[in-house]
Chains A and B, each alone.
Chain A
Amino acid sequence: MIALNLKILPQSSFGLAGYWGLQEPVTIPFYNYESNSSNYFGIKDWGIALQYGAEFSGSVNSSLYLLAMAKKLGNHSLSARFTPGYQKEFLFATGESIIINDTTTQSLEANYNYKELFGLGYSYRFDEQFNAGLAVRFFSQDFNQQVVKPVFGDTLYLVRETIDEKVNFWNVDLGFDYILNKNFQFRVSSINLINIKDDLTIEEFQGFEMDQKRGALLMASYMPADFFNFHLLYETSNSFQLSTTGSTSGFIYGLTAFHDYFQDPYIAGLIPAVGYRTNLFEILLSGVKYFSERNTNASFSKFYEEGINNIINNRYSFDKIVLSLALNISSTPEKKVELIDVEIVRDIYPTFYDKYIEQPFAFGKVVNISGETVNVIPSVKIEGITDEKIQSPPQTLEPGDTATVPFYLIIPDKYVIDKATLSYADFYVTTSSTEPDAQLQKAALINSLNSWDGNVANLRYFIMRDIDFSMNYAKSVLSNNKSVLDTLPSAISVFYKSKILFNNFVKSLVYASDPRATAEYVQFPKQTIELKGGDCDDLSVAYSSLLESVGIQTALVDYKEDGEIRHVNVLFNTKLIPTQAKFITTNDSKYFIRKNEQGNDEIWIPIETTSLTDFDEAWNVGVEKFNREAVNDLGLAAGKVEIIDVY
């Protein structure tokens, strides 16, 4: 047979699932190197896919068309595929025949098989808009042909011999993707850019090799909405594909029409596809329907004249139905939220143990980078303070939303560091998985145990921290004065208990200011008594603690004097009603009336705890200051004086 000039080309852009552009949620079409030479993959970690189908060629022949795997490593994507079903075989009579035994004619036959065996892909994602990669594919051509061969021994005779040759070649193509925005995407890739092949040695097979004619693919996608996307793919061989795809509620669908320059009619066929996808898997059922009649027999002269330009899509291909399955597996949880920044808004005072349960000490800026609504659980762990992460209440975030989430904190009772410490706080935000989606670390100053923020209301923490000590101390003092207390009317019991405790409390105390160059420093009651001195807040804390420990209601009076050192002293509730005031004093300026929770008037007495002489003196000094600044100067009304109940 004379060498032929057949146009047998390896793959161009046809895919068994149609063309879907660069839609990341649908990964099955990415395994089609024919239109994805740039190896663009929308997977997060691992992807596995297979395509199994049947072609209707008179009988039904089923094939595994493709088995593939992909892996994402940061900005790199790798893939490999095995394509046992990508093959086309032609059987024909060679035209040679032998006349044997003078009568019988034996025709000789040939079998040419074209296959694409496997492929490899690599890509690099430069940024959100630009991706580039390459695909390498391996083709095999098996030529088998019977020939007449004379054999000369004692006599000459003709034998039928089979000659065969396998000619392999590698094909490399490059691709570049440009994602302008979520609506427009573009791609350009080569066809048969580089071919590395074996040499054909047997002359009978000359002209039957695949043609490696170079070309290019140009692709554009317009995706205005999830349910409607439009794609155009054009080859420089004057073939093209038009497709529309979409997704809604997990269902995916597509329809591709293709024009093949070498097939009739103008629109040679359609590839409808419908499927379903989740974040884990995809299943897609597609079909290939040709608009011209297909037979298992064909004209050799037509084949000789035109050849084929694609192994799986040519005038000799049959209608197909294909089932595609893909799994998207993440060995690491998918990140759904990002923690952009954290601001620590409150200094940490370890004594304020429950303050940060109600008031966040930090706020974080979180953005939902997934496509679904998520519940964000903030948590924090501070080195040296907490052993475990302290979780804060969850917050719901819609896709794409940014929110400020609070971080709460619990200071454990066992924290006893008495000096300021610079530590670090690890902030976490977690969605569904056990591993946090994002984390951030910030330096955090942990104040000493005795540090105070200057807010008189927070002195309650110092009052209550040593309540056991105060209780023991107070009970001991009162016990020593039992004989006196037992003789008193119950109405004035509170008054006299307060008096006894104060007189005993101040016996050995002196006034001492806080150390210089320190933040506000407040002593616990035990410290004040053991150190035998303190400033106004120390003494007020100690005295209030003693009273509270035996059930006497107290309040702190905060004298917020502009430009001068602020001052604190104590008010305590005598539990006397105004008509009973005469039991303790006839001077109605020496007490202050406050309503209790039931709305009844009760007599409260101000005590200047820095007056370390006796109760009466302290009462006088306290009254004088209170009347002057809180009442007469309208300090209470103006907010310059504040009464803060300990409880």
Chain B
Amino acid sequence: MKKLLTYLIISASVFILVSCDKPAPTQLIDDTSDEFEVELLNKDLDNPYSSGTDTSGITQDLTGVTNLISVSGIKITTENRSNEFSLAQAMFFDKSKPIRYSNGKLLAYQTITPGTIKFNGTEAHVVPYRIRYREGGSPKDTLIGGKYLLYNITNGLPDPFYFPYNASVSFEYVPFIGGNNVSFNIVTPYEINGTVSLNGNKISKNLEATLNWNGIGEKKVSVIVGLVIADSIGGRQLHTIPIYKIKTADDGELKIPGRFFNQLPLDRFEKIVFTFVRSYEGYRGSGNNELLVSSQSIHSIILDIP
């Protein structure tokens, strides 16, 4: 009897063991703001795309944009010195006139300047709009038309446009021929101020970065990581190749793991730049009149690659 019961319980155990499920897992729903969205901005480091706004450190892929209104408060920190700029831009793209790389890939569209534009009552200049890029390893640029621009490098020079944080900028458009005037206020974000701490070095391939900024807990911020190379065009001008665009919660802290740096050919680059962007973006209108309105607080920090 005892033997029979023993064999039964052992047999039952084996059967149960091989026929069992495992306990149900618990799915944790992410209700935190701790996100980390990564976008690769340039796959070909020898032929990177740039819209030419080097000094702003900002780069956008504008091929999907019809019309862009952008106002930015910009701070660039390098070697512990910071310079602040205000920038207001407007571009109107003619989608019927694409401009392509030599390999046929779309580079941009030609721009048009159909009227006058004022930001906070100051009329923007029309300036040549050149796009700098690298093709076949060589720096190139091309003129794709004109764009509207106000920029204030220092003390209202050359243009008396001052980007107000956590306020608004008025926008006015008056067409030269036909059409309606357009005016609206562009709401501006709080100023963003960041710091970057680099650990490790490129030789050991253990570089990683810890970023901190004055998080306000609203929406998200973008951090653009770029590599800086000397550009022969225009003299010794630093040319930034944006690599990653990371969107994360505006909680004031981001750690970029080493794997994002250590695969890159850092020895080919002189510096690394981290650009904090707190932006408000929205669309107005539709079709050919669709406007992407963007106001941004930008803080770029340029560091030597250890």
Contact = CB atoms under 8 A, between A and B. Distances in A.
A155 B257 CA distance: 20
Given A59-B24, A327-B5, A329-B6, A64 B259 contact: no
Contact of A91 (B10, B22, B27, B44): B27
Given A301-B32, A329-B2, A91 B25 contact: yes
A156 B264 contact: yes
Given A67-B13, A156-B243, A281 B5 contact: yes
Given A52-B16, A89-B23, A157-B43, A97 B28 contact: no
A150 B227 CA distance: 15
B176 interface: no
Contacts of B1: 280
Interface in B12-52: 12-13, 16-17, 20-32, 34-40, 42-45
Given A50-B12, A84-B17, A156-B42, A297 B26 contact: yes
Nearest to B61: A102
B303 to A, nearest CB: 19
B96 interface: no
Interface residues of B, number: 45
Nearest to A328: B2
Contacts of B21: 61-63
A204 B263 CA distance: 18
B233 to A, nearest CB: 23
A61 B21 CA distance: 6
A296 B36 CA distance: 25
Nearest to A85: B23
Contacts of B40: 99, 150, 156-158
A90 B9 contact: no
Given A281-B5, A299-B28, A64 B37 contact: no
Contacts of A55: 23-24
Interface in A139-182: 147-152, 155-158
A150 B260 contact: yes
A329 B29 CA distance: 49
Given A64-B17, A95-B34, A151 B263 contact: yes
A93 interface: yes
B17 A92 contact: no
B113 to A, nearest CB: 28
Contact of A50 (B6, B13, B36): B13
A91 B43 CA distance: 32
A93 B5 CA distance: 48
A289 interface: no
B265 interface: yes
Given A63-B20, A156-B45, A157-B43, A93 B30 contact: yes
A460 B263 CA distance: 116
Contact of B259 (A62, A111, A149): A149
A303 interface: yes
Interface in A286-334: 296-301, 303-304, 316, 318, 325, 327, 329
A296 B26 contact: yes
A318 B22 CA distance: 13
A73 B40 CA distance: 67
B17 A97 contact: no
Given A89-B22, A156-B243, A95 B42 contact: no
Given A89-B23, A148-B38, A304 B9 contact: no
Interface string A47-62: 0101010010111011
Contacts of A218: none
A548 B160 CA distance: 157
A87 B30 CA distance: 22
Q: Give the most central of B25, B35, B42, B255: most A CB within 10 Å.
A: B25
B253 interface: yes
Nearest to A150: B263
Given A64-B17, A157-B43, A92 B34 contact: no
A552 B244 CA distance: 133
Given A148-B38, A327-B6, A89 B259 contact: no
Contacts of B13: 50, 64, 67
Contacts of A148: 36, 38, 259-260
Interface of B: 1-2, 5-6, 9-10, 12-13, 16-17, 20-32, 34-40, 42-45, 61, 243-244, 253, 255, 257, 259-260, 263-265
Given A57-B24, A90-B28, 9 more contacts: A1-B34, A50-B12, A89-B26, A95-B36, A99-B37, A203-B257, A296-B24, A297-B28, A329-B6
